[in-house]
Amino acid sequence: MRLGNMLDDLCDVHNHFLKLEQRYYRIYGKYAGRYRLQPHLTKLLKRTKKHWVWIPRDTLDAVLIRLDTTYQRFFSGLGGLPKFKRKDRYRSAKFQSGYLLETGRVRLSFKEWDETSQRFKFNKRWFSYHHRYWKGNVRYIHILRDAVGTYWLHVVTDDSTTDPYLATDESVGIDFGMETYLTFSNGEKIQSPQYLKQSLKQLRKLNKALSRKAKGSNNWWRCVRQLARLYRHITNQRRDWHFKLATALCRRFDLIATETLNLDGMKRLWGRKVSDLAFGGLVEILQYKCFKHNRDFRQVGQWTATTKPCSDCGYENKELSLSDRQWTCPHCGSHHDRDVNAAINILRAAYDPIVEQM
């Protein structure tokens, strides 16, 4: 019994139910939802998929719930459709019961069929981990495997004590961009460190080395792991920076307004660089931080015009093209920086009653 086997089985569960959802959709033209799938899982466990029984039921249910969440996010325009996953890409398991946490080790219990007594008995196993302290009561734990093959334990607690920052009476509109990462309505600009670009040379080198090695050989696998480790490093750097940025913003501003991201559109327009900038990740962290520190976070609807109207008089500059970084309003004559003007419009639109409040 290994954690890897469990993730492999959970991957099967994910793929099985995704296929089922797709078939259901083809036949009935709608989506089945988790309350139809969960009883079905019960049936499968008794009949054709007995080999899944050893995994705790709430861990199996968590797979269906996550599939459902992905669909719900898709319906509200926040993400893509769920995808079939490869075994080595399936990486997390959630435990709500059947575990015991102690300092430095966690016990998981799995069911095992006992031939002699013709009954299931619980097989309990300890896994040690590098201990860190947490606040509050533990709600559930996540076991994660990263691309390098390291297992991580995430402990999720009910500690939701907000620690509100002092009111500053300052608010800000933020415009996301390619040329300038963030532009504030007060004219400040922040550039992205572009971590992927920084490591591009190293990535190329590793990729080249990988292509020279025989696929599947020991050296090839070592190279694959090195690549995965480098990607993890880049992701961590970026995430770290996002957290620092979000904290700084929350300290300074009572209200933070951004536009609703249309990531697919951005990718079409700007290509791969968007992934390196990872606006989606930043917005998620910003949302979380604002919630935690009791700040007002608002997203202006996707269809609100923010670029073309003049922030002084409201005149809509229809001739404005993507390459115009500066422009002068033909109506009132004020001179605008393209991004600052947009940020001001975003902040203004955030005060409108029709804004989608998060």
**Chain residues that interact with Zn ion, rule: CB under 5 A:** 310, 312-313, 315, 329, 331-332
User: What is the nearest approach in angstroms of Zn ion to the Cβ of residue 346?
Assistant: 17
Nearer to Zn ion, 11 or 310 (CB): 310
Q: How far apart are CA 135 and CA 318, in angstroms?
A: 54
Nearer to Zn ion, 123 or 326 (CB): 326
Question: In the numeric block, which tokens belong to residue 202?
Answer: 């190293």
Nearer to Zn ion, 172 or 310 (CB): 310
User: What is the nearest approach in angstroms of Zn ion to the Cβ of residue 68?
Assistant: 48
User: What is the nearest approach in angstroms of Zn ion to the Cβ of residue 170?
Assistant: 25
User: What is the nearest approach in angstroms of Zn ion to the Cβ of residue 354?
Assistant: 23
Q: How far apart are CA 240 and CA 34, in angstroms?
A: 35
Nearer to Zn ion, 180 or 311 (CB): 311
The answer to whether 220 and 208 are in contact (CB under 8 A) is no
162-183 burial code (b ≥16 CB/10 A, e <16): eeebeeeeebbbbbbbeebbbb
User: What is the nearest approach in angstroms of Zn ion to the Cβ of residue 329?
Assistant: 3
Nearer to Zn ion, 171 or 311 (CB): 311
Q: How far apart are CA 348 and CA 344, in angstroms?
A: 6
Name the residue with tokens 């309350």: 35
User: What is the nearest approach in angstroms of Zn ion to the Cβ of residue 318?
Assistant: 13
Nearer to Zn ion, 253 or 327 (CB): 327
Q: How far apart are CA 50 and CA 159, in angstroms?
A: 37
Contacts of 251 (CB under 8 A, 6+ apart): 165, 168
Nearer to Zn ion, 299 or 345 (CB): 345
User: What is the nearest approach in angstroms of Zn ion to the Cβ of residue 226?
Assistant: 55
Nearer to Zn ion, 200 or 313 (CB): 313
User: What is the nearest approach in angstroms of Zn ion to the Cβ of residue 351?
Assistant: 19
With CA atoms as reference, report the closest residue to 259 among 286, 240, 294: 286
Question: In the numeric block, which tokens belong to residue 281?
Answer: 């990740």
Question: In the numeric block, which tokens belong to residue 280?
Answer: 């989606």
The answer to whether 239 and 146 are in contact (CB under 8 A) is no
Q: Across the chain, where does the E strand assignment appear? A: 92-95, 99-102, 105-114, 119-128, 138-145, 151-157, 171-176, 182-184, 189-190, 255-259, 296-300, 326-328, 335-337, 356-357
Question: In the numeric block, which tokens belong to residue 80?
Answer: 């893509």
With CA atoms as reference, report the closest residue to 195 among 226, 230, 144: 230
Cα-based distances in Å from 313 to 226, 258, 320, 330: 55, 21, 16, 10
